[in-house]
A and B are shown apart, each in its own frame.
Chain A
Amino acid sequence: MWWTRLKALIIKELLAVLRDPKGRAILIGPPIIQLLVFSYAATLEVRNVDLLVLNRDSGQWSRELVHRIDGAPTFRKITYAQSPAALHDAIDHQRVIAAVHIGPTFSRDIEAGRPADVQIILDGRRSNASQIVGGYLNQIVASLAAETPAGRKAAEASVSVVARNWFNPNLIYQWFMVPNLVASIALLIGLVVTALSIARERELGTFDQLMVSPLRTHEILIGKLAAPMLIGLFHISIYILAAVFVFGIPLRGSLALLYGSAICYLGAVVGLGLFISALSKTQQQAILGAFLFLVPAMLLSGFATPIENMPEWLQPITLINPLRYFLVIVKGVFLKDIPLSEVANNTLPLAIIALFTLSAAAWLFRRRLE
């Protein structure tokens, strides 16, 4: 008997989302946009950079340096300035992100075995990209320095560093980003679909109709949560397929572990969504509420910036963010065959958060019935 009722409710919840043109748009639009934007457009790599060179030296070493910069794939266009004023102007108007200033005695100093200077001017307004460009330029200058007479002599005595990137040998940006997206799309869809569900019924006047049916309160809660979880799992699956077959990302770990933890993760997310929904009178309020949580949750998760970079006082807040734990699991399963123990360590907090958000949602839902 209870199963008949619950089944009817879950089917209705799914139909209500799928048959509503706005609901359908939410299920199809954002996932596609997110996949395209984050995996292609919002790349953190620095490419296609324009650079300015002010070369006041006429020797071979400065020419060699300019050649090497020109040959690097990162830089798209090199322009040449004749005066410090032109250099200043180009940075000022953001025509270039960095400028290389080579002094008049550069080659002479190198030949003479004296310390030679190259000045690199970076646009601090674009701090992240400037930092990376600075790094590239340093590498190029360092490799040139190693070939100067003084550098060759020093090389015999120096320690050489060989870097190897584990899990993502070629540091392909998408290998890092697409697994992240599996977690964030589940957050977005789970949260928004749940947040809209009760608010939609309130707005359309169907909520009372539902409440006078023999469905018990916990059955309504289960039905309202099951449908968005199913939709969330569907989106996770689609994204996993896209990661493997479109982006060619290795799937090294266990899918069973991934789905197991995904259920706890979605539980935490839909609990929160239902809490927002119970609080909202209209769908508009619900959407605003969902995004009020969504944006900080993305920023405080390690999605784009490492948690370790955040100030000490801010870091503890990330501990209640379900996305933080699921990101570790998704990236682990994709790139490194994460062991069961580590999945469990990250799933346990998810389960605790889920328990908390679900009970909070149930409590608020019952309270708001009064």
Chain B
Amino acid sequence: MTNAADSHASRPEVIRLAGVTKKFGAAPPALDDITASIRGGEITGLVGPDGAGKTTLIRLMTGLMLPDAGTIEVLGFDTRTDAASIHAAIGYMPQRFGLYEDLSIQENLDLYADLRGLPKSERPAVYDELLTFTDLKRFTTRLAGNLSGGMKQKLGLACALLKKPRLLLLDEPGVGVDPISRRDLWKMVEALTSEGIGVLWSTAYLDEAEACDRVLLLNQGKLLFAGIPSELTERVAGRVFKLAGTTGRRRATLARVLDQDNVVDGVIQGEAIRIVMQDRSDPAALLTALGSSDGQIAPTSPRFEDAFVDMLGGGPGGRSKLAEATRARPADSGRPVIEARGLTKRFGDFTAAADITFDVQRGEIFGLLGPNGAGKSTTFKMLCGLLKPTLGEGRVAGFDLRRDGAEARNRLGYMAQKFSLYGDLSVAQNLAFFAGVYGLAGTQKRDRTSLMSEIFDLGPHASSNAKDLPLGLKQRLALACAVMHEPDALFLDEPTSGVDPITRREFWTHINGLVEKGITVLVTTHFMDEAEYCDRISLIDRGRSIALGTPDALKARVASPENPDPTMEDAFIALVQGANQRAAA
């Protein structure tokens, strides 16, 4: 990657964006004056949180939409005048699986070959090459609808490659794909670049961005950065540290760290705290300021996310008004707040979750980590009463979900993956509804709802429709509704997937604060960084819990001489492969 910069200039330009602007209605522009270029023979990451404008930009590049201002040239063709020539020369894989679920793999390939006008004589050779390349040869008769997320993406890629394109546009190919398939997919795309094909890979995962040759970083429709990822991480070089030795109370320490003036950003990373400091700040002085005697602070290598947050002006402070307004739960009574005992769920002869057992203690954050379709959502749903287990039992705050379901549900707060409040209702009406269904009335209801709108600063938006709020405010409203009734346990289903890092930090500051007050949290995630915020995690794969422990313990289990400091993703892949080998043996 070091010589990437030198060779970059010599590569042919495949896309040229000049002053591209796109607006939808009266909202702020979805894309604001984007000028950039994308070259052949390398992977360009189009990076940014949901709603940043990634899909809009890709659709503009394909000529499916036209910009309001500025010009886009793709392979030398203007999208306004030559869209048809562009379509013939590019491969495009849209975000939603663009294939026909009721056709088999072979039928999908035939269909796309017809659509792309691939001559019949060339087909056998091309099919053979692509099916070998994507490792789908064994499944050609299987219906596309029955493929796993990773296999669907590979098939989508094969269809986009039927007529060898000069440019490949991939809209979030990594979504819904387990880490192992994601690595496979990445390797395939890398192989294409060696043939000179230009690849645009859009993603909301900042760890994916790091692996790209070059990135375009979008945030709220603006291009924040264009260049080599290491150039971006360069800006925080020497300012990133790991604070260890504060075990047990690390969340309270993090809150104090974040309130220091010279700290830009801080997150929990396993047992340690990851800190980005301002330029020319003395990390040793930070320890003194915290009054910590046993803490050790050491430099660590910067990541893309550290630089992104720094670029956005740093994360929010460590104070959570929500936690301050929450009454502390009495000290541990000994009984776990969430109990899963042999939870099993079968749908017909398919076992979605098998014999899942764990306890979550008061004031603990427990994570269910696994790819989509592995069974973590099924487990999660059984524990909040949305699914009845086929076998086993679940308890929340001591109440059996089967017998005292309503009582148990009264003790838990739930926040779903996608924004799932009532979009057509105003912010105030949503708050009033949730206060009502949790049995709050009269002054109690008024006090609680006004407290929530004060804490989350929802007052100015009280009469806006919830669906029209920006993503960050939606997130706040969803959290406000989930904690309206002061639950003992919070259930968070992929709470921050796709949101920008600032909103994510704000969200976790509240969660960390609540946990300090004795609230218990169960969180599902396929987001490896988020797993590190948990006290303990359970790795779920193919319906089974294959490993359970603290993030650091899981990482330590796969550490090897070649990889002494594995990431969560390394740990995940190694543990899943290990479990598969044991199952096969």
Q: Which residues of A contact B (CB under 8 A)?
A: 1, 4-5, 7-9, 11-12, 15-16, 19-20, 23, 204-206, 208-216, 369-370
Compute how far the CA of A123 lies from the CA of B409 in the bound complex, rounded to whole angstroms. 69
Q: Which of A5, A8, A23, A209 contacts B420 (CB 8 A)?
A: A209
Instruction: Please give me the residue from chain A that is nearest to B381 by CB atom.
Output: A208
A7-B436, A208-B414 are known contacts. Are A370 and B387 too (CB-CB below 8 A)? yes
Q: Which of B410, B419, B425, B436 contacts A19 (CB 8 A)?
A: B425
Compute how far the CA of A192 lies from the CA of B421 in the bound complex, rounded to whole angstroms. 22
A214 touches B429 (CB 8 A): no
Q: Which residues of A contact B436 (CB under 8 A)?
A: 4-5, 7-9, 11-12
A208 touches B441 (CB 8 A): no
Given known contacts A16-B425, A19-B426, what 18 new A-B pairs fall within 8 Å (CB)? A1-B439, A5-B438, A5-B439, A11-B432, A12-B425, A15-B424, A16-B422, A19-B425, A204-B420, A204-B422, A205-B416, A206-B420, A211-B385, A212-B491, A214-B407, A214-B410, A215-B406, A216-B406
Whole-angstrom distance between the Cβ of B272 and the nearest chain A Cβ: 34
Compute how far the CA of A279 lies from the CA of B9 in the bound complex, rounded to whole angstroms. 59
B424 touches A20 (CB 8 A): yes
A214 touches B465 (CB 8 A): no
A1-B439, A214-B406, A216-B406 are known contacts. Are A206 and B421 too (CB-CB below 8 A)? yes
Q: Which residues of B contact A205 (CB under 8 A)?
A: 416, 418-420
Compute how far the CA of A207 lies from the CA of B441 in the bound complex, rounded to whole angstroms. 23
The answer to the question of B147 belonging to the interface, with a C-beta cut-off of 8 Å to chain A, is: no
A205-B420, A209-B420 are known contacts. Are A12 and B429 too (CB-CB below 8 A)? yes
- Those of B426-453 within 8 Å (CB) of chain A: 426, 429, 432-441
Instruction: Please give me the residue from chain B that is nearest to A1 by CB atom.
Output: B439
Q: Which residues of B contact A9 (CB under 8 A)?
A: 433, 436-437
Compute how far the CA of A370 lies from the CA of B382 in the bound complex, rounded to whole angstroms. 10
B491 touches A206 (CB 8 A): no
A8 touches B435 (CB 8 A): yes
A209-B421, A213-B409 are known contacts. Are A19 and B437 too (CB-CB below 8 A)? no
Instruction: Please give me the residue from chain A that is nearest to B385 by CB atom.
Output: A212
B425 touches A15 (CB 8 A): yes
The answer to the question of B19 belonging to the interface, with a C-beta cut-off of 8 Å to chain A, is: no
Q: Which residues of B contact A11 (CB under 8 A)?
A: 432-433, 436
The answer to the question of B384 belonging to the interface, with a C-beta cut-off of 8 Å to chain A, is: yes
Q: Which of A12, A16, A214 contacts B439 (CB 8 A)?
A: A214
Instruction: Please give me the residue from chain A that is nearest to B435 by CB atom.
Output: A8
- Those of B366-423 within 8 Å (CB) of chain A: 381, 384-388, 406-407, 409-410, 412, 414, 416, 418-423
Q: How large is the interface on B (under 10, 10 to 19, 20 to 34, 35 or more residues)?
A: 35 or more
Whole-angstrom distance between the Cβ of B402 and the nearest chain A Cβ: 13
Instruction: Please give me the residue from chain A that is nearest to B493 by CB atom.
Output: A208
Q: Which residues of A contact B387 (CB under 8 A)?
A: 370
Instruction: Please give me the residue from chain B that is nearest to A8 by CB atom.
Output: B436
Bitwise interface map of B from 444 to 486 toward A, beta carbon under 8 Å scored 1, else 0:
0000000000000000000001000000000000000000000
Q: Which residues of B contact A (CB under 8 A)?
A: 381, 384-388, 406-407, 409-410, 412, 414, 416, 418-426, 429, 432-441, 465, 491
A204-B420, A206-B421 are known contacts. Are A213 and B438 too (CB-CB below 8 A)? yes
Compute how far the CA of A20 lies from the CA of B381 in the bound complex, rounded to whole angstroms. 29
B439 touches A15 (CB 8 A): no
Compute how far the CA of A206 lies from the CA of B418 in the bound complex, rounded to whole angstroms. 9
| Interface of A, helix, strand, loop or mixed by DSSP | helix
Q: Which residues of B contact A208 (CB under 8 A)?
A: 381, 386, 414, 416, 420
Compute how far the CA of A28 lies from the CA of B414 in the bound complex, rounded to whole angstroms. 36
A5 touches B412 (CB 8 A): no
Q: Which residues of A contact B384 (CB under 8 A)?
A: 212
B414 touches A5 (CB 8 A): no
B422 touches A213 (CB 8 A): no
Q: Which residues of A contact B491 (CB under 8 A)?
A: 212
Compute how far the CA of A369 lies from the CA of B440 in the bound complex, rounded to whole angstroms. 26
Whole-angstrom distance between the Cβ of A278 and the nearest chain B Cβ: 16
A5-B436, A205-B420 are known contacts. Are A19 and B465 too (CB-CB below 8 A)? yes
Q: Which of B407, B410, B419, B433 contacts A12 (CB 8 A)?
A: B433
Compute how far the CA of A12 lies from the CA of B425 in the bound complex, rounded to whole angstroms. 8
Q: Which of A8, A20, A204, A370 has the most CB of B within 10 A?
A: A8
Compute how far the CA of A343 lies from the CA of B354 in the bound complex, rounded to whole angstroms. 58
Compute how far the CA of A205 lies from the CA of B384 in the bound complex, rounded to whole angstroms. 16
The 4 closest A-B pairs by CB, nearest first: A8-B436, A214-B410, A205-B420, A212-B414
Instruction: Please give me the residue from chain A that is nearest to B414 by CB atom.
Output: A212
Whole-angstrom distance between the Cβ of A346 and the nearest chain B Cβ: 38
Instruction: Please give me the residue from chain A that is nearest to B445 by CB atom.
Output: A4
Q: Which residues of B contact A4 (CB under 8 A)?
A: 436, 439-441
A15 touches B409 (CB 8 A): no
Instruction: Please give me the residue from chain B that is nearest to A206 by CB atom.
Output: B420
Q: Which of B409, B421, B424, B440 has the most CB of A within 10 A?
A: B424
Question: What are 17 A-B contacts with C-beta separation under 8 Å?
Answer: A4-B440, A8-B437, A15-B422, A19-B424, A19-B426, A20-B424, A204-B423, A205-B416, A205-B419, A205-B420, A209-B421, A211-B385, A211-B386, A212-B384, A212-B414, A213-B409, A214-B439
Compute how far the CA of A208 lies from the CA of B416 in the bound complex, rounded to whole angstroms. 8
Compute how far the CA of A292 lies from the CA of B35 in the bound complex, rounded to whole angstroms. 53
Compute how far the CA of A16 lies from the CA of B425 in the bound complex, rounded to whole angstroms. 7
Instruction: Please give me the residue from chain B that is nearest to A220 by CB atom.
Output: B437
Compute how far the CA of A5 lies from the CA of B384 in the bound complex, rounded to whole angstroms. 19
Instruction: Please give me the residue from chain B that is nearest to A2 by CB atom.
Output: B439
Compute how far the CA of A23 lies from the CA of B425 in the bound complex, rounded to whole angstroms. 13
Instruction: Please give me the residue from chain A that is nearest to B413 by CB atom.
Output: A212
B425 touches A209 (CB 8 A): no
Q: Which residues of B contact A369 (CB under 8 A)?
A: 386, 388
Q: Which residues of A contact B429 (CB under 8 A)?
A: 12, 15
Compute how far the CA of A297 lies from the CA of B434 in the bound complex, rounded to whole angstroms. 38
Q: Which residues of A contact B385 (CB under 8 A)?
A: 211-212
Compute how far the CA of A98 lies from the CA of B434 in the bound complex, rounded to whole angstroms. 67
Q: Which of B388, B421, B437 has the most CB of A within 10 A?
A: B437
Compute how far the CA of A369 lies from the CA of B407 in the bound complex, rounded to whole angstroms. 18
A12 touches B409 (CB 8 A): no
Compute how far the CA of A209 lies from the CA of B406 in the bound complex, rounded to whole angstroms. 14
